[in-house]
Structure 1
Amino acid sequence: MGNKEDLLAAARACVYERGFAATTARDIANAAGVSLAAIGYHFGSKERLLTEALTAESGREIGDALDERIKAASKDGRSPAEAFPLVWNDIAEVFARNRQMLVASVENVIRIHRTPSEAAHMSGLLAEAVSELADLVAQSHPELSDDQARAIARLYFALLNGLALQWITEPEGELPSGDELAVAIAALASRS
């Protein structure tokens, strides 16, 4: 790995071990075996390094798991409505495999909220994530219009974040199943 990759890995390790508040730039640089100046050179600030480190990890672990679920659920010509519950059934298993990262991500959201430049950066990253998710939904269900695929992607993104936060708060609690969520959406749709 190069210095940039070493810094990303070290930032994640430090946050997982110490939390955001207790992690210093020096901790990260020491763990990566690089100078403090390397953080500024590669990322501009410790805050940007932390955002990039967790966003990359979240995308790789949670995002890839959601992508796999969407692809698997749409096999055999299932409609979006038929695929929906399959995407969300047992999602807690994905969260359990990524507990440290999810907790760190929640801490990061609070930190970002208080840092306007990071909030603007994260807004762009979130828009990109939804756009990529919409592309995947459209590929998985070519019968959907672009607007429909984007709306489903936004729903999936909101559900993912909401269910993850609920799971972090109460890991032993019961999340709604994909089947229950599908019943709720069908009930809402039938009332329109």
Structure 2
Amino acid sequence: MGHREDLLEGAVRCLYEKGYARTTARDIVEASGTNLGSIGYHYGGMTNLLNAALERAIENWGMELAQALMSANAQELSGAERFERYWEYMLATVRTRRPLLLATFDAFIQMEHSPDVRTMLTNGMRDARRLWAEVFHGIDAELEPVRADQIGSLYQALVSGVLVQALINEDDAPTPQDLSAAIRAVAATL
């Protein structure tokens, strides 16, 4: 790897450990084995590097969640079992990825002052919606973009809402079984 990639990987590790607001340039240099001048040279500054790291880390987290549902043994589960397995895994990541997940809220605040961050979040949200539609229901967004966005939006709303509840108080967040029962109850009334 070159310095650019080393910096990015170091910044991702820092996000996992310290979050967005608490990560310093010196932390990244130490984690990456590079030097302070490399940040400006390769990324034009600390903000650009942290934003690139956050984008990669969130993308990695989303793929981890998707892979929990795409594993060979998950394919054999019923729809409800797959749904609950996903939420079990997602809630477990609140413990293991807490600083990263909290860093996403820093990015929400930053987007008010940075069109680049807003674009990154917009594109990431769109990709996430389409990923959830594919993973949960096998919907190809290229063939059915409207349906993929509709269904994916529901899952993304659930992810965002459950994530906030779990970050505030993990013991008070809904369980996978609560979410499954709620989906069934809502669907029965439509």
Instruction: Pick the TM interval, shorter chain.
Output: 0.7 to 0.9
Structure 1 residue 85, shift from structure 2 partner: 2.6
Superposition pairs for residues 71-82 of structure 1, below 5 Å?
Answer: 71-72=70-71, 75-76=75-76, 78=78, 80-81=79-80
Question: Counterpart in 1 of 2:168?
Answer: 169
Question: Counterpart in 2 of 1:8?
Answer: 8
* Structure 1 spans left out of the alignment, 5+ residues: none
More divergent stretch after superposition (124-133 vs 25-34)? 25-34
Shift in CA distance, 70/23, structure 1 to aligned 2, threshold 3 Å: closer
Question: Counterpart in 1 of 2:69?
Answer: 70
In structure 2, distance between residues paired with 1:65 and 1:82:
18
Shift in CA distance, 5/152, structure 1 to aligned 2, threshold 3 Å: same
Question: Counterpart in 2 of 1:53?
Answer: 53
Aligned Cα RMSD in Å?
3.2
Question: Counterpart in 2 of 1:86?
Answer: 85
Check if 1:119 corresponds to 2:118: yes
* Structure 2 spans left out of the alignment, 5+ residues: none
| Preserved CA contact (<8 Å) 1:7 1:32 | yes
Check if 1:159 corresponds to 2:148: no
SS for the counterpart of 1:117 is helix
The normalised TM-score by structure 1 is 0.74
Structure 1 residue 96, shift from structure 2 partner: 0.9
- Tell me the amino acid that sits aligned with residue 5 of structure 1: E
Identical counterparts, % of pairs: 31
| Preserved CA contact (<8 Å) 2:21 2:103 | no
Deviation string 1:110-154 (CA, Å, 9 cap, x unpaired) is: 223332332123212222232233333343x79xx9354443322
In structure 2, distance between residues paired with 1:64 and 1:110:
24
More divergent stretch after superposition (68-77 vs 104-113)? 68-77
In structure 1, distance between residues paired with 2:33 and 2:86:
41
Question: Counterpart in 1 of 2:186?
Answer: 188
The normalised TM-score by structure 2 is 0.75
